[in-house]
Chain A
Amino acid sequence: MSGFLTLINANELFRFSADSLVYVSSDGNYSEIVTRDGAKRTVTVQLGVIEDLLNRQLRSKDDEFMRIGKSLIVNLNFVHYINPAKKQIVLSDSHTFSHSLEASKEALKQLKDFFENNVKK
């Protein structure tokens, strides 16, 4: 069963099912959380804090996320396309959404290696 990412502040509580999270991007002290339904939610939480919350709150091995550089966290289950030379990564469920994002060449190369190694296993 998928876990939840829960964000709480003085006035609000956000609860995201891990399998609905597509990616989280950083905007300075804010983070933008993008979900499968195409919704984008901006929260006043730094990306590093969200990474820590994911580490703490998610228990299922099915919920795998990857921090890519300083400004991106992606749900590995939705990684559809990686092209390090073009610095491009596409997240998609091959059905309802597709998001093309940019990341560093070196980081994407490592991500590509990561998937290659997993395939070999």
Chain B
Amino acid sequence: MIHIDDINDDEIRLINREDATQNPWYRRWWIWAIVAAALLLVVLIIGLLRRDTVQTDEFITEDIVEESVSVAPSVVQEDGAAAVSVSDTTINDVQLRLYTPVNVVPELRLGMPDTTDLSIVLALQAADIRADNRQIVGAFVLNGELLSRGMSKKGFCAIIGGEVHLGMAESTSLLEEAIEKEGSFFRQYPLVSGGKMVENRPKGKAERRALCEKDGQLLVVRSLGRESFHDFAQALADLGLEQAIYLTGGVAYGFCRDDQQMLNSWGDASTAAKFENANFIVWKKK
């Protein structure tokens, strides 16, 4: 039973009429306005917390001085054979596997790569996809076509005329250049810039992947265990990499073809296949 007694002797209050001079508490619009505002605040807080959670789970994650480097598409071997050189190392207790593509060219593509295509020697998911609307996060250009806009992450990779540019910038002319010259472009978290580790917001641990540059060569680094963003980025910097941006981690799908043409894959292909905007950076034979 509700007890209304918030009245003094000099006041009057009409009872049982909609246009009462003072309504009982449950009819006062401002109480409901406060309740609605409080609910909205709770929803926003939950939304923000969830966003961070998604980032840590990260198949499909979200959300970041122009500084970029251009690197040759791959190492050229004298015998001309396409391959991926694989090596393992441990930095600061972080186990890393390094993939250095040889005699291949990188390209960005939308949709699952064909695992039976023997010309593809390395493939990894590139830009993140939002879990809620399944759209690509940040600017994304495919063969000169701008498919997604935005700068939620400062790291970028541009592939223009066979040349790969890795960098970190809020805005870069390479985006326009990729569109003009029918190149490709995507955004990701920057991990290493100018040889120094870059801190990022996402928390939690997951298997991490990165697209990196060292001594003018492009390579991919994959953590073999679940690592925090901080530890992974620090390990890349300590490895002597000059530039590195993140590639979708966690259960994101990827594979490498060894010199016996055997496919070594990681992540979950079925999850990636559910997202029509799942995008990959692949290295193909020239």
Question: A and B: real partners?
Answer: yes
Within the complex, the shortest CB–CB distance from A115 to chain B, in Å, comes to 11
B10 partner, pick from A58, A66, A104, beta carbons under 8 A: A104
Please tell me which stretch of B11-19, B65-73, B276-284 contacts chain A, meaning at least 4 of its Cβ atoms lie within 8 angstroms of it.
B11-19
Residues in chain A near residue B1, CB distance under 8 A? 49, 52-53
> Is A70 within 8 A of B7, CB to CB?
yes
- Closest B residue by C-beta to A110: B12
Q: Does B5 belong to the interface (CB within 8 Å)?
A: yes
In this complex, the member of A63, A68, A111 whose beta carbon has the largest number of chain B beta carbons within 10 angstroms is: A68
Complex CA distance for A103 and B2, rounded to whole angstroms: 25
Complex CA distance for A111 and B16, rounded to whole angstroms: 16
Within the complex, the shortest CB–CB distance from A61 to chain B, in Å, comes to 7
Residues in chain B near residue A90, CB distance under 8 A? none
Interface string of A92-118 (1 = CB under 8 A from B): 000000000001101100110010000
Within the complex, the shortest CB–CB distance from A19 to chain B, in Å, comes to 13
Residues in chain B near residue A73, CB distance under 8 A? 15
Q: How many residues of A contact B (CB 8 A)?
A: 28
Complex CA distance for A111 and B10, rounded to whole angstroms: 10
Within the complex, the shortest CB–CB distance from A89 to chain B, in Å, comes to 11
Q: Does A47 belong to the interface (CB within 8 Å)?
A: yes
Given the interface pairs A55-B24, A69-B8, A70-B8, the reply to whether A49 lies near B13 with Cβ below 8 Å is: no
B7 partner, pick from A53, A69, A114, beta carbons under 8 A: A69
Complex CA distance for A54 and B16, rounded to whole angstroms: 7
Given the interface pairs A51-B4, A52-B2, A52-B3, the reply to whether A107 lies near B10 with Cβ below 8 Å is: yes
CB contacts between A and B, total, < 8 Å:
73
Within the complex, the shortest CB–CB distance from A101 to chain B, in Å, comes to 13
- Closest B residue by C-beta to A71: B9
Number of contact residues on B: which range applies? Answer: 10 to 19
Residues in chain A near residue B21, CB distance under 8 A? 110, 114
Within the complex, the shortest CB–CB distance from B10 to chain A, in Å, comes to 4
Residues in chain B near residue A110, CB distance under 8 A? 11-12, 21
Q: Does A20 belong to the interface (CB within 8 Å)?
A: no
> Is B9 within 8 A of A107, CB to CB?
yes
> Is A67 within 8 A of B13, CB to CB?
yes
Given the interface pairs A52-B24, A54-B15, A110-B12, the reply to whether A67 lies near B3 with Cβ below 8 Å is: no
> Is B12 within 8 A of A51, CB to CB?
no
Given the interface pairs A48-B4, A52-B1, A55-B24, the reply to whether A67 lies near B16 with Cβ below 8 Å is: no
Binding site for B on A (CB under 8 A): 46-49, 51-55, 58, 61, 63-71, 73, 103-104, 106-107, 110-111, 114
Binding site for A on B (CB under 8 A): 1-5, 7-17, 21, 24
- Apart from A52-B1, A69-B7, list 13 A-B contacts with CB within 8 A: A46-B3, A49-B1, A51-B4, A51-B13, A52-B4, A63-B16, A67-B7, A67-B14, A73-B15, A104-B10, A107-B11, A111-B12, A114-B14
